[in-house]
Amino acid sequence: MFAAGEESSQKGRSTEVVVRAITALTPGDEEDFPDGGLRAWLVVIGCFVVNAVTVGFCFVSIWGVFHAYYAEGILAGTSPSTLSLLGSIPGGLMTILSVVTGKLADRYQYKPMIGIGCILWVSTMLGIAFSTKLWHFMLTQGVMQGMAGGFIFPICSAFPSQWFHQKRAFSTGVVLSGSSFGAAVTSAIIRVMLSYFGLRKTMLIKTGIDAIALGAAYLLIKERRKPSTTITWYDKKYLADPTFWSITLCMCLSNFGFPAPFFYLPTFAKQKIPNLTELLSILSVTILNVSSGIGRCCIGFLADRIGPTNSMFSVVLISGLAQLLIWNFVSDYPGIMAMSVLYGFFGVCFWSLATPIGAWFYGTENLAGLSGLLFLFTAPGELLGPPITGAIYNVTNSWHRVIAFSGTVQVAAAITLLYARFKRESSVFKVC
């Protein structure tokens, strides 16, 4: 009887080891995660606020507001593709720097990197306030803003994984939804402030608000992991793995297709409905961002149950189809707003699922560096996607061609993820 009990115990332990291996966790990890509690959620709130203040302004989510303002005023006469390039530089540079700052964070801890990013961010906002020429904006709203985001985005994305395991995708979605809700509030307010106060006063006010909010958020963030002893700059275990390339190709192609609605929906709305007020045209971007904030939380909650890879495939595919089958055929305001709600809910979620997918396939060790590496492969789309779509429109004067490009590459992105999905789990109905 005792032998049978011992054998059963050994089988139980063997099963536990297999389960841990499958979920890419090291022994003891599950017990080490608080997976909730006041301290863990305060960290989430702090990272949420940092993202709301910075990444929500840095990404394409709000660029539609500045694109219209610059084209009509201070940068009038600048080509749409050049303005699109200005809007894409921060996100592109941020993702390129993410691999470096992520590895530095793994080596020296996360919180100091966020602190450096916050200081850079406040300096950037101040610089934009005193910019008057295109090269000024390229330097401040382009390069400096991208550098600040590079110290913030990958670290905030990885921070929830120090505190959560079962709720990892949901907590990460909440953190990254900060950028969506922040952009929604900012896009609704900034355009009005620009009209009433002009660029300088608007950006000075934002600088003061940002400094206070970032200072308070920084106090809420607490480090939990111990720093690594070395930095591995060449990640052979990732770069030699075809599964890794399946994931990164999905991220890369997704980022070529996803920015178009955020960049062009206000312009599209005004062309389709000439008498549409400025506020109603900008409202499409606000709704996009509110919907994406809700979507990131909901999809994160779902990903904890069906798996981050299944969720990533679904949201990228639906985003591409929403462009091809809905945006392509709408011409009235209700249709445009419906597109904003649907695309916003799914379109940006692949960003919040990148870190959970990294943890799912490779574990949580050096996760900031891995997240930065995954985000690095979004840089080509971040830098080239908006200028390409801008050039397509300039040459063809056709929204259908723009939508065909952006929607098709997103569908292709979803297809490329299938290799990683079925390499890891062959059954369609299994969590992955």
User: CA 186 to CA 35: how far, in whole Å?
Assistant: 31
Q: Which residue type does 417 have?
A: L
150-185 pLDDT, tens digit per residue, is 899 888 888 888 888 888 888 888 888 888 788 778
Whether the per-residue pLDDT at 27 is higher than 60: the answer is no
Whether the per-residue pLDDT at 18 is higher than 70: the answer is no
% the chain with pLDDT above 70: 89
54-112 pLDDT, tens digit per residue, is 887 775 556 767 877 887 778 887 777 787 778 778 877 888 888 888 888 888 888 88
Q: Which residue type does 140 have?
A: T
Please give the pLDDT value at position 360.
84
Name residues whose C-beta falls within 8 Å of residue 265's C-beta, 6 or more positions apart in sequence: 64, 284, 285, 288, 336, 339, 340
285-306 pLDDT, tens digit per residue, is 778 878 888 888 888 888 888 9
202-219 pLDDT, tens digit per residue, is 999 999 999 999 999 999
Lowest-confidence segment of 163-177, 257-271, 334-348, 362-376 by average pLDDT: 362-376
Given a contact cutoff of 8 angstroms between Cβ atoms, the answer to whether 368 and 106 are in contact is yes
Q: Mean pLDDT, the chain, as a whole number?
A: 81
Q: How far is CA 400 from CA 84, 257, 260, 284, 349, in A?
A: 19, 14, 12, 19, 24
What average pLDDT does the segment 323-349 reach?
89
Lowest-confidence segment of 55-59, 144-148, 323-327, 416-420 by average pLDDT: 55-59
Q: Which residue has the higher pLDDT, 41 or 237?
A: 41
Please give the pLDDT value at position 64.
65
221-230 pLDDT, tens digit per residue, is 988 877 776 7
pLDDT-based confidence at residue 24 (cuts at 50, 70, 90):
very low
Q: Which domains does the chain have, with CATH numbers?
A: 36-424 (1.20.1250.20)
Please give the pLDDT value at position 75.
84
User: CA 299 to CA 237: how far, in whole Å?
Assistant: 29
User: CA 159 to CA 316: how far, in whole Å?
Assistant: 24
User: CA 143 to CA 146: how far, in whole Å?
Assistant: 5
